[in-house]
Amino acid sequence: MKKLQLIASMMLGLAAAGSASADSGKDVYTKVCAVCHAGGIAAAPRFGNAGDWAPRIAKGVPTLYQSALKGTPKGMPAKGGNLTLPDADVKAAVDYMIAAAGGAKAAAAEPKKEAKPEPKKEAKAEAKPEPKKEVAKEEAPKAAPAPAPVAVASAAAEAAPAPTVSAADVNSFNRLLKPASKRNLPPAEDGIHDPSNDGTHALQPPLAAFGSLPKSFAGNRVNWVEAISTGKIKPRYDRVDATAEPIIMDMNVVREVKGSMPDVVYPHKQHTQWLDCSNCHPAIFTPQKGANQISMAAILLGEKCGVCHGKVAFPVSECRLCHSKKKDLAPSAQATAK
């Protein structure tokens, strides 16, 4: 009887939350909760594991909401440690996890999507053969157009369960660009970390660190130069001595470049905040003005500036950060034009 009530109340709750919150629930789960709940870090109830969740669900959904919002002494941080999350999003994520773990029986009516591109073993744990079939039916027509071009290309299709390109439509905009939702993913979902490795789930997700840092349009999407110069981060200049100060050299080198491209201004200042002279001189750059042949081709191939820019420092797509000094129009050219 009690169970019936519970299921009924959950259905009500889910119905009230609507499908929009199911989406945001999944979103929040993957961004925040999955770090611990995917693998069961710190004894967190594992995603999709009915056994882990049943006793908690039995205490009632409002209790679960409270635990998620306020944290628990067992180790759950308030709002998963992400205090800027709106309450509604946290609750949506809780709903999403409940639904995935046996609560699925109640949520079967809802168009629920499979949580992960690579479903965990636990996710299969009993519970929900039915909703799964439903999911398969629903997802099939959507998924079909995406792998098609890949299949033509090669047998690589099987290696790409989650195609990074053109998730929806072959003629969509920015087909080859990485969408914002694919940036700064937590380690377990970034494609190079092994999600079956327990250590992977203990690593800090990039977004947890980047939240308070100034943004940029490339690379990590963090403006590291601004971050250090405004004091948002204070990277140590010595391995152990936290008080060591960098030896900053404030000297700009202007490199005149061919064509109409603005000249390059190389600022020693921003580089010496991070680096030592010996990092670049004399191996990469001869410390003498005019003595270095630098070309964009060399940089693209990882030489000269490209030793760092395009690997860890901002990449060459940010042309104007280097090519920043507008050329004076040559007076002789103007004169001859007249």
* Residues 208-237 contacting another protein, CB under 8 A: 209-210, 219-220, 222, 224, 233, 235-237
Contact letters for another protein, residues 250-279 (x by CB under 8 A): -----------------------xxxx-xx
| Nearest residue (CB) to another protein, 278 versus 332 | 278
Rg (alpha carbons) of the chain, rounded to whole number: 27
Q: Which of 162, 168, 248, 253 binds another protein (CB under 8 A)?
A: 162
Size of the site for another protein (CB under 8 A): 65
Maximum Cα–Cα distance across the chain:
95
First to last CA, the chain: 95
**Whole-number minimum distance, CB 114 to another protein, in Å?**
18
What gap in Å lies between CA 152 and CA 129, rounded to an integer? 33
Contact 323, 262 (CB under 8 A): yes
Contact letters for another protein, residues 174-213 (x by CB under 8 A): -xxxx---xxxx-x-xxxxxx--xxxx-xxx-x--xx---
Cα–Cα distances (Å) from 271 to 54, 246, 252, 303, in that order, read: 55, 10, 11, 17
Q: Residues 97-100: contacts with CB within 8 Å, 24+ apart?
A: 97/25, 97/29, 97/33, 97/37, 97/45, 97/47, 97/53, 98/10, 98/53, 98/57, 98/61, 98/64, 99/14, 99/22, 100/47, 100/48
**Whole-number minimum distance, CB 27 to another protein, in Å?**
16
- SS3 of residue 159 by DSSP: helix
| Nearest residue (CB) to another protein, 12 versus 170 | 170
Contact letters for another protein, residues 278-317 (x by CB under 8 A): xx-------------------xxxx---xxx-xxx--xx-
| Nearest residue (CB) to another protein, 182 versus 255 | 182
Prior bond of 282 cis (ω within 30°): yes
- SS3 of residue 237 by DSSP: coil
| Nearest residue (CB) to another protein, 49 versus 270 | 270
What gap in Å lies between CA 207 and CA 297, rounded to an integer? 33
Q: Is 200 left (phi over 0), alpha (psi -120 to 50) or beta?
A: alpha
| Nearest residue (CB) to another protein, 78 versus 160 | 160
Q: Which stretch binds another protein (CB under 8 A): 29-37, 40-48, 71-79, 152-160?
A: 152-160
Half-sphere CA count of 166, side-chain side, radius 13 A: 14
Q: Which of 246, 255, 268, 323 binds another protein (CB under 8 A)?
A: 246
**Whole-number minimum distance, CB 201 to another protein, in Å?**
9
**Whole-number minimum distance, CB 169 to another protein, in Å?**
14
Binding site residues, another protein, CB under 8 A: 150, 153-156, 159-160, 162, 164-165, 175-178, 182-185, 187, 189-194, 197-200, 202-204, 206, 209-210, 219-220, 222, 224, 233, 235-240, 246, 273-276, 278-279, 299-302, 306-308, 310-312, 315-316
